[in-house]
């Protein structure tokens, strides 16, 4: 081998060796980089990557609710349709229910018997007395009927009750029950005065209100004079009735002279061309003799020109029964009573007091109160009254 060949061999060896070194070093660097990513506890600082933060989902803003205001339509005006059927006023008989009921049981017993015997007379007497007809009138009525039963003019219980009703009605007939309004006074420019008297609480002021309403409805203008100066509330009460009825009110000071209030009423009526004054009076004073004296004076003063007292109405509460009779006597004597208003007959079982008033005092019952409202005052009608009391047609 020559030197040339030796040099070539040495070069080849050197090149192969060099390539080998390069390949080995490359392999080493590749394996170290792959092991560093998996090994723990190497000198390399641990790079902890923070876990990805889970941001709360961004919620889309809730849209504000759209409040739709309801469209409020104005309520249509209420049209009150009045019923076509007229309001029915209860009849006299219906409103006298209590008085009728008191007798109904007894009369039913009389009717149910075969004939007319002692029990019949006892029952009738008891029923009439209980209704406050009074012993005098009851005895007179039954004595007359006994005669007719004896003479066989009356034979059955039904005939007996019918005859009793006829006799009772006959006793009440013939009285003048109209309210006295003197037209000639009115046309002479003077004033009719109606006074209302009676003990306290019987219904004087209420009756004045009802009478005023009836007179106004009939086309007659009215002035109410508050002659009860004993209580301040009395004038106010009368004022309420003046408003209800459309009448005018004349009042004085509390504790003032009742006569002068009535007199002022007459003067006012005269000045305004009003033909009628309704005068209220006190039902109670310090004592009874004062009251009676007061009424005498009221009557005297009210009759001074241009006034004229044409009616003095004694108001009696039907529920007081025979007590009302004693009162009536006193007032009649003092105030010259011309007629009676029997109030509260709607709540009384003692309507029979009418007979005692008319027979024993000779006073006509002119008006009857059947309730507390303005329409609850009717003219007294004997047929209706007895029919309702005995429950006969
Ligand atoms: N049920 C019924 N109550 C009546 C009637 N009349 C009057 N009243 C009532 O009786 C009460 C007394 O009535 P008033 O009118 O104040 O009696 P008054 O006689 O003026 O009384 P004084 O002023 O105190 O003397 C009131 O509650 C009335 O509503 C009627 O006919 N029936
Ligand atoms: Mg009164």
Nearest ligand 1 atom to the CA of 200 is 25
d(Cα 365, Cα 281) in Å, to the nearest integer? 20
Q: Which atom of ligand 1 is nearest to the CA of 202?
A: 19
CA of 233 to the centre of ligand 2 (A): 9
DSSP H or E stretch at residue 1: none
How far apart are the C-alpha atoms of 215 and 242, rounded to whole Å? 12
Within 8 A by CB and 6+ apart from 377, the residues are 207, 210, 211, 214, 341, 367, 368, 369, 370
Mean pLDDT across 104-119: 89
Is it the case that residue 65 has pLDDT exceeding 60? Answer: no
Choose the residue to mutate in 372, 377, 378, 380 for probing ligand 1, maximizing ligand atoms within 8 Å of C-beta: 372
pTM of the model: 0.77
Is pLDDT of 118 > 70? yes
Give the position, in ligand 1's atom list, of the atom nearest the Cα of 283.
Answer: 25
Q: How far is the CA of 278 from the centre of ligand 1 (A)?
A: 16
CA of 344 to the centre of ligand 1 (A): 8
Secondary element (H or E) of residue 280: none
Cα(231) to centroid(ligand 2), Å: 9
Contact present, 216 and 247 (Cβ < 8 Å): yes
The crossing angle, in degrees rounded to 10, of helices 258-272 and 288-302 is 20
Q: Which residue owns the Cα nearest ligand 1 atom 21?
A: 201
Whether residue 276 contacts residue 181, with contact meaning beta carbons closer than 8 Å, is answered with: yes
d(CA 229, ligand 2 centre) in Å: 10
Residue 47 has pLDDT above 90, yes or no: no
What does the mean pLDDT of the chain come to? Answer: 82
Which residue's alpha carbon is nearest to atom 29 within ligand 1?
372
Q: Residue 267 in contact with residue 242, Cβ under 8 Å?
A: no
Tell which one of 95, 200, 203 to mutate to probe ligand 1, the residue whose CB is within 8 A of the most ligand atoms.
203
61-75, 207-221, 343-357, 359-373, range with greatest mean pLDDT: 207-221
Residue nearest (by alpha carbon) to ligand 1 atom 25: 200
Q: How far apart are CA 241 and CA 355, in angstroms?
A: 31
Above 80 in pLDDT, residue 224? yes
Question: Which protein residues touch ligand 1 with a CB less than 6 Å away?
Answer: 198, 200-206, 228, 234, 283, 343-344, 346-347, 369-372, 376
| Residue 158 CB partners (closer than 8 Å, separation 6+) | 111
Block residue for tokens 């007809």: 133
Pocket test for ligand 1, best of 201, 317, 341 (most atoms within 8 A of CB): 201
Q: How far is residue 359's CA from residue 382's CA, in Å, rounded to a whole number?
A: 14
List the single range of 40-49, 75-84, 135-144, 145-154 with lowest mean pLDDT: 40-49
- Distance from CA of residue 46 to its chain's centroid? 98
* DSSP notation for 72-110: -PPPPPP-----SSPPPPPPHHHHTHHHHHHHHHHHHHH
Q: From atom 26 of ligand 1, which residue's Cα is the shortest distance away?
A: 203
Mean pLDDT across 256-274:
96
Ramachandran assignment for 78, one of left (phi > 0), alpha (psi -120 to 50 degrees), beta (any other): beta
16 Cα: distance to centroid of ligand 2 (angstroms): 150
- Measured from the CA of 370, which atom of ligand 1 is nearest? 31
Q: Which of 206, 225, 258, 295 to mutate to test the pocket of ligand 1 (most atoms within 8 A of CB)?
A: 206
Measure 82 CA to ligand 1 centroid, in angstroms. 31
CA–centroid distance, 93 to ligand 1, in Å, is 21
Q: pLDDT, tens digit, for every residue of 267-318?
A: 999 999 999 999 999 987 656 678 888 999 999 999 999 999 999 999 999 9
Lowest mean pLDDT among 19-28, 92-101, 232-241, 379-388: 19-28
Structure tokens at 322: 């025979």
More confident residue, 299 or 321: 299
Question: What is the Å distance from ligand 2's center to 304 Cα?
Answer: 24
pLDDT for 390 equals 86
| Residue 249: strand pairing partners | 224
Give the closest ligand to the alpha carbon of residue 226.
2
- Of residues 377, 379, 83, 82, the one with CA closest to residue 244: 377
């Amino acid at each position: 081998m020559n030197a040339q060949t030796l040099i070539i061999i040495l070069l080849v060896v050197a090149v192969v060796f060099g390539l080998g070194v390069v390949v080995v070093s490359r392999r080493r660097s590749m394996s170290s980089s792959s092991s560093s990513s998996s090994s723990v506890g190497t000198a390399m600082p641990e790079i902890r990557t923070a876990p990805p933060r889970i941001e709360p989902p961004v919620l889309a803003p809730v849209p504000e609710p759209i409040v739709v205001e309801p469209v409020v339509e104005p309520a249509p005006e209420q049209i009150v349709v009045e019923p076509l059927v007229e309001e029915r006023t209860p009849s006299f008989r219906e409103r006298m229910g209590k008085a009728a009921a008191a007798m109904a049981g007894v009369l039913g017993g009389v009717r149910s018997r075969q004939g007319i015997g002692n029990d019949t007379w006892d029952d009738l007497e008891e029923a009439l007395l209980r209704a406050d007809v009074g012993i005098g009138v009851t005895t007179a009525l039954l004595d007359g009927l006994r005669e007719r039963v004896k003479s066989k003019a009356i034979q059955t219980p039904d005939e007996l009750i019918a005859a009793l009703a006829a006799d009772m009605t006959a006793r009440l007939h013939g009285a003048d029950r109209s309210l006295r309004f003197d037209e000639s006074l009115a046309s002479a420019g003077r004033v009719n005065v109606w006074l209302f008297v009676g003990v306290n609480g019987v219904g004087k002021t209420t009756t004045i209100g009802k009478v005023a309403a009836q007179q106004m409805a009939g086309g007659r203008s009215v002035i109410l004079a508050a002659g009860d100066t004993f209580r301040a509330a009395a004038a106010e009460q009368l004022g309420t009735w003046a408003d209800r009825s459309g009448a005018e009110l004349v009042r004085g000071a509390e504790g003032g002279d009742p006569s002068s209030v009535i007199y002022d009423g007459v003067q006012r009526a005269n000045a305004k061309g009003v033909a009628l004054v309704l005068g209220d009076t006190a039902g109670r004073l310090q004592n009874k003799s004062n009251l009676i004296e007061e009424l005498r004076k009221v009557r005297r003063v009210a009759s001074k020109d241009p006034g004229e007292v044409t009616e003095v109405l004694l108001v009696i509460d039907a529920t007081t029964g025979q007590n009302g009779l004693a009162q009536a006597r006193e007032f009649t004597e003092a105030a010259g009573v011309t007629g009676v208003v029997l109030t509260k007959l709607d709540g009384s079982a003692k309507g029979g007091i009418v007979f005692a008033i008319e027979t024993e005092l000779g006073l006509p019952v002119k008006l009857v109160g059947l309730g507390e409202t303005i329409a609850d005052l009717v003219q007294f009608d004997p047929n209706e009254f007895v029919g309702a009391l005995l429950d006969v047609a």
